[in-house]
Amino acid sequence: MAAAKKAVLGPLVGAVDQGTSSTRFLVFNSKTAELLSHHQVEIKQEFPREGWVEQDPKEILQSVYECIEKTCEKLGQLNIDISNIKAIGVSNQRETTVVWDKVTGEPLYNAVVWLDLRTQSTVENLSKRIPGNNNFVKSKTGLPLSTYFSAVKLRWLLDNVKKVQEAVEENRALFGTIDSWLIWSLTGGIHGGVHCTDVTNASRTMLFNIHSLVWDKELCEFFGIPMEILPNVRSSSEIYGLMKAGALEGVPISGCLGDQSAALVGQMCFQDGQAKNTYGTGCFLLCNTGHKCVFSEHGLLTTVAYKLGRDKPVYYALEGSVAIAGAVIRWLRDNLGIIKSSEEIEKLAKEVGTSYGCYFVPAFSGLYAPYWEPSARGIICGLTQFTNKCHIAFAALEAVCFQTREILDAMNRDCGIPLSHLQVDGGMTSNKILMQLQADILYIPVVKPSMPETTALGAAMAAGAAEGVGVWSLEPEDLSAVTMERFEPQINAEESEIRYSTWKKAVMKSIGWVTTQSPESGIP
């Protein structure tokens, strides 16, 4: 029998989407932006002590290889020829910090995840050294000094992990966020791997000057970081190197964006004033501010949105970051056991349709925007004998919506132009109750693309549009129209306001919980 004819499709582009809770590899048709196949693997998070969050960099890398191989197998079963994959983009959890040995290729410690709180005393010591009248860290980076960003994590590793100290002294150490670790490894590792990052990821390290777009000598000196361990900074869309192993050997890696920037691109928010909110482990609302850096008066971050090509202009964004969104669902599943799978929360919430006066502030890692309050901890309040697990499930979903509302309010104050609707994406948006609640609490429509994988799509667009690849057009007239689902507010504004102000009362009760610092050292 003649071999089955392979289906002919336009050029394809792959995207690695390495998030906090899982890794995925997705393949898109570059002409229609249609998702053809994907594979996903959950990633283990380790909590060696209270407030510590780590992951194994080798497990992350292995998961990327596994997702690529499995997706290629699935494409084969669909009679799609993988030689049509012309480029690969990488999108990643941001700020998570890895230091590895460039001679052996081995990580020198676990990846310290963005949510990790062990650097609280490092932050306190550093902040004493910033002059009150000249916060040069914030003016150069757009970021508040916080446990969230890579520089303080790297400082902690240099102070506490002997293997890291020795490797730096012997000029064997390389630092990177997850994108750098993956690109270095995928392009050959110890055999000529490319040590680079892009402007969006660099802008989250606290070592990068977002105006001049280079590593900043003064910042590196302030944090005591040797500049020779830092990756080369490139644009978000250019050929960095070629895949050196596996089914896609020889395919260029030509797109790189931190996950939130990737979602902004994937949602086609290319105009000044367009915004999107991604519901993942955390919640991240980004608003494109065009070619100008807008500094927030209301607790938002100023960050690099994207730079789609070496000779293309840089775009900036205002960002509101919420640490715990999807992570609260995972916590209800893994720690409390009141649901067996993340999807179940929708069923529980639907049963009661209200939190019955129960409020949940999931400040597990302190509060991020707009408070930047590391002393906060999670609380569930307003409990009565009537409260059951369904109310707590509902309150958890509401918490995600209230946190988004706080950020949206701050953004409206900073930009002066209130958003008329909110574009949303990310894993949690498949939860219809959550989306309806979000519209009710914001009191504006929530608009969701029918294909929620916008983070991966953004990475694929950047990779496919890169010079030397050129299979994806970013011209507005060529971008395929996306079908959207709309959620309109259904409650009256007054009720929405009452619930929101009660939530804010709960937030105040969560602040100032931690008064003394827990001991942080004692690392082998």
Total domains, the chain: 2
Domain with 97 in it: 12-322+458-465
The residues facing 99 across adjacent strands are 175
Asked if residue 306 belongs to a domain, the reply is: yes
- Euclidean distance between CA atoms 135 and 140, whole angstroms: 9
Tell me the H-state helices in 197-274: 199-202, 217-223, 259-266
Residue 195 backbone dihedrals phi, psi, to 5 degrees: -100, 95
Domain match, 276 and 379 both: no
Interhelix angle for 454-464 vs 259-266, to 10°?
80
Asked whether residue 336 falls in the same domain as residue 311, the answer is no
Return the HEC string of 356-425.
CCCEEECCECEECCCCCECCCCCEEECCCCCCCHHHHHHHHHHHHHHHHHHHHHHHHHHHCCCCCCEEEE
Q: Residue 7: its pLDDT value, please? A: 52
Rounded average pLDDT per 10-residue block, the chain, 524 residues: 53 96 94 92 92 95 97 94 95 96 96 93 88 81 91 96 96 96 96 96 96 96 95 97 94 96 92 88 89 88 95 94 83 90 87 89 87 89 93 93 91 83 88 92 90 90 94 80 85 85 94 67 45
Question: Cβ(502)–Cβ(405) under 8 Å?
Answer: no
Question: Is 480 domain-assigned?
Answer: no
Shared domain check, 297 and 338: no
Does a structural domain hold residue 3?
A: no
What letter represents residue 292's amino acid? K
- Tell me: do 397 and 279 sit in the same domain: no
Cite the beta strand spans of 295-336 per DSSP E: 301-306, 315-322
How far apart CA 401 and CA 396 sit, in angstroms, is 9
Q: What is the pLDDT of residue 280?
A: 83
**CA–CA dist 295, 298 (Å, integer):** 9
Ramachandran sector of residue 353 (left: φ over 0; alpha: ψ -120 to 50; beta: rest): left
Backbone phi, then psi, for 191, in 5-degree steps?
A: -100, 65
Closest CA relative to residue 168, chosen from 116, 97, 119, 103: 103
Q: Give the H or E element holding residue 27.
A: strand 22-29
- Over the stretch 448-499, which tens digit does the pLDDT of each residue have? 988 878 999 999 999 999 999 989 988 877 776 677 889 999 987 788 888 9
Separation between Cα atoms, residue 377 and residue 468, nearest integer Å: 49
Cα 282 from chain centroid?
8
Is 74 inside any structural domain? yes
Q: Is residue 287 located within the same domain as residue 364?
A: no
Q: What is the pTM of this model?
A: 0.87
Question: Are residues 154 and 92 both part of a single domain?
Answer: yes
Q: What are phi and psi of 67, to 5 degrees?
A: -65, -40
Predicted local confidence at residue 449, as pLDDT? 87
Write out pLDDT tens, residues 244-274: 988 999 999 999 999 999 999 998 889 888 8
Q: How far apart are CA 184 and CA 176, in angstroms?
A: 9
Q: Is position 302 within any domain?
A: yes
Shared domain for 196 and 236, answered yes or no, is yes
Residue 521: inside a domain: no
Q: Kindly state whether residue 516 falls inside one of the protein's structural domains.
A: no
Contact 92, 259 (CB under 8 A): yes
Kind and range of the H or E element at 350?
helix 344-352
Both 313 and 340 in a single domain?
Answer: no
CA angle, 479 as apex, 473 and 484 as ends, to 5°? 150
Burial class (CB in 10 A: 0-12, 13-18, 19+), 320: buried
220/366 same-domain check: no
Based on the domain organization, do 210 and 245 belong to the same domain? Answer: yes
* pLDDT number for residue 516: 57
* End-to-end alpha carbon distance in the chain: 63
Nearest-angstrom CA–CA distance, 311 and 466 = 11
Beta bridge mates, 29: 12
Tell me, yes or no, whether 330 and 305 share the same domain: no
Domain presence at residue 56:
yes
Structural tokens at position 235:
């644009």
- Strands 111-112 and 54-55 come out as antiparallel
508 is written with which tokens? Answer: 């105040």
Chain centroid offset of residue 38 CA: 19
Q: Is residue 232 located within the same domain as residue 277? A: yes
Q: What is the CATH number of the domain that holds 270?
A: 3.30.420.40
